[in-house]
């Protein structure tokens, strides 16, 4: 297996300066491939977070007053920094998060694309006029929030920290962002790279634990707007932390996403798409949108399972820095233990382990798990009900449509759904029945730029990645003027 690459210590970006934690605290960054330390990250104190919030608030009025086309130019320069440093940033995520280099290159490209998209629509932060009769004029203005907190998870490290700040910045709101503490090395390199791109205080990046840095940010009385991507329990804690100061929250949370295969679907295509939609090759199933519950009609079950096992067997598990690798290790030890615990529970609860379930041969070190497929899963099993966020697929079979739809909708999650049938009316009627915020029909779940994404039920509040997200970083002020 690979040698252990090491990364030099780097500072957080606060008020245009690269700084350590004020008490000198650091957290180790573990390389999940070698199980050795790859580097470290500052563990921001509440005082550091407070300095970042104050810096953002100071920078806010000038940034909001900057014409949108000028802000867009800055965002294009920001995207160019990512594109110019694609290889280094992608490698950092492969080292720190175990994510395959090839997919992390795609993540950096995707992040740059999203930043450019929001730069392009920044001018949509416009107002309206409201009919007010001959003697008055009523209009509205978009007023950006004076600071936005952006807290993101570990699974798409550079993509999330880089791109998920861009809508707020395009809207004229300065940002304090925090990456997942398990994969912060690329965020710290990004902090260095973009230090001179933005005016001081417009983009601040703090690192550290959720309990210390994350909580300080999400409970800060001067932060009126918190945009969070992560798990349902943390989302609930963030809402509670923001309640005393009535913060505006948007929450992109977990899922246990259904993929439905009808009897007329091509079982081979559907099986291959279910592996792609599971994001096994991209992120080892550590993806909110992973189709981890596959409902296959009994008429096509046999062919579907055969094609699924063939496809999963083609995936190469190994060193994420190797260009040929499809799947690296799980991102960090605690998560590895959680994922393997679920596999054990699946076996104990009587699901049929069709593929994987263990450590891949030849990989004695690192948090590696084989891609794992359980068949004959039922909705009373833990692996069908809880988000595993790892390379574990649960296959359920069905023959009664209404029972299947009830099972699809019986969980508190509602992030994505996926439908496979040649009957387009049936597909669209079924899409309407699925209680999820994003539905794919006969596709592996790839979304075009600008399509709104966000969950129903406990999977979240609000929509990201489109115009709604841009507009969510400001408030609408109405003004009525009497005409003399
Ligand atoms: P997590 O909730 O444990 O952590 C996410 C972020 O919140 C991290 O930066 C963490 O440090 C911070 N945090 C933790 N406790 C905090 C607190 N009390 N106050 C403020 N911040 C705190 O999630 P994770 O394990 O990093 O990521 C996996 C989860 O994220 C999964 O549930 C997955 O489905 C979800 N996710 C959702 C989307 C989406 O778009 N819906 C995308 C990616 C991941």
Ligand 1 mean position, distance from CA 396 (Å): 28
Ligand 1 mean position, distance from CA 302 (Å): 37
69: buried, middle or exposed (CB in 10 Å: 19+, 13-18, 0-12)?
exposed
d(CA 125, CA 477) in angstroms, rounded, equals 12
Nearest-5° Cα angle at 90, 88 to 94: 115
| pLDDT given for residue 1 in this prediction | 52
* Token pair 């599971």: residue: 278
Mutation choice for ligand 1 from 231, 239, 436, CB with most ligand atoms inside 8 A: 231
Which ligand 1 atom is at minimum distance from the Cα of 208?
A: 11
d(CA 152, CA 166) in angstroms, rounded, equals 13
Strand 17-19 versus strand 12-14 pairing type: antiparallel
Which positions are catalytic? 252, 288
d(CA 250, CA 235) in angstroms, rounded, equals 9
d(CA 341, CA 361) in angstroms, rounded, equals 19
Residue nearest to atom 42 of ligand 1 (CA): 288
Does pTM top 0.75 for this prediction?
Answer: yes
Ligand 1 mean position, distance from CA 263 (Å): 37
| pLDDT given for residue 2 in this prediction | 56
Average pLDDT per consecutive 10 residues, the chain (484 residues; last block may be shorter): 80 98 98 97 98 98 98 98 98 98 98 98 98 97 98 98 98 98 98 98 98 98 98 98 98 98 98 97 96 98 98 98 97 98 98 98 97 98 98 98 98 98 98 98 91 97 97 98 96
Is there a contact between 450 and 465 (Cβ–Cβ < 8 Å)? yes
Strand 36-42 versus strand 26-31 pairing type: antiparallel
Which ligand 1 atom is at minimum distance from the Cα of 234?
A: 2
d(CA 129, CA 288) in angstroms, rounded, equals 39
Mutation choice for ligand 1 from 150, 216, 223, 230, CB with most ligand atoms inside 8 A: 230
């Amino acid at each position: 297996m690979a040698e252990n690459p090491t990364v030099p210590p780097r500072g957080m970006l606060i008020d245009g300066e690269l700084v350590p934690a004020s008490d000198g605290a650091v957290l180790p960054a573990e390389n999940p491939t070698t199980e050795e330390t790859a580097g470290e990250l500052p563990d921001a104190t509440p005082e550091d977070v407070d300095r970042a919030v104050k810096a953002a608030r100071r920078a806010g009025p000038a940034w909001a007053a900057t014409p949108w086309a000028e802000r867009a130019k800055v965002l294009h320069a920001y995207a160019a920094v990512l594109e110019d440093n694609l290889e280094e940033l992608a490698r950092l995520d492969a080292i720190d998060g175990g994510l395959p280099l090839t997919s992390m290159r795609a993540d950096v490209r995707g992040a740059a694309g999203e930043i450019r998209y929001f730069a392009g629509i920044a001018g949509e932060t416009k107002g309206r006029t409201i009919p007010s009769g001959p003697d008055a004029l009523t209009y509205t203005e978009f007023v950006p929030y004076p600071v936005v907190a952006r807290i993101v998870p570990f699974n798409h490290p550079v993509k999330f920290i880089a791109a998920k700040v861009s809508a707020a910045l395009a809207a004229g709101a300065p940002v304090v962002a925090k990456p997942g503490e398990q994969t912060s090395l690329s965020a710290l390199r990004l902090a260095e790279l973009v230090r001179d791109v933005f005016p001081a205080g417009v983009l601040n990046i703090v690192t550290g634990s959720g309990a210390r840095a994350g909580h300080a940010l999400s409970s800060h009385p001067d932060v009126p707007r918190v945009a969070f991507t992560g798990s349902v329990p943390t989302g609930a804690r963030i809402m509670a932390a923001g309640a005393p100061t009535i913060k505006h929250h948007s929450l992109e949370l977990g899922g246990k996403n259904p993929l439905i295969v009808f009897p007329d679907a091509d079982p081979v295509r559907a099986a291959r798409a279910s592996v792609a939609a599971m994001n096994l090759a991209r992120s080892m199933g550590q993806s909110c949108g992973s189709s981890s519950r596959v409902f296959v009609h009994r008429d096509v079950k046999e062919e579907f399972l055969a094609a699924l096992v063939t496809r999963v067997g083609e995936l190469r598990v190994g060193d994420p820095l190797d260009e040929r690798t499809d799947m690296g290790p799980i991102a960090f030890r605690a998560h590895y233990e959680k994922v393997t615990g679920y596999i054990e529970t699946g076996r104990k609860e009587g699901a049929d382990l069709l593929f994987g379930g263990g450590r891949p041969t030849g990989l004695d070190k690192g948090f590696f798990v084989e891609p794992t497929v359980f068949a004959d899963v039922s909705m009373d099993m833990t692996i069908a009900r809880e988000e595993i966020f790892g390379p574990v697929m649960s296959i359920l079979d069905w023959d009664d449509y209404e029972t299947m739809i009830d099972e699809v909708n019986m969980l508190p999650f509602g992030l994505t759904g996926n439908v496979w049938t040649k009957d387009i009316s049936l597909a669209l009627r079924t899409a309407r029945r699925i209680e999820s915020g994003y539905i794919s029909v006969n596709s592996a779940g790839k979304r075009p730029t600008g399509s709104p994404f966000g969950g129903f039920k406990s999977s979240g509040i609000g929509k990201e990645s489109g115009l709604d997200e841009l507009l969510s970083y400001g408030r609408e002020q109405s003004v009525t003027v009497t005409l003399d």
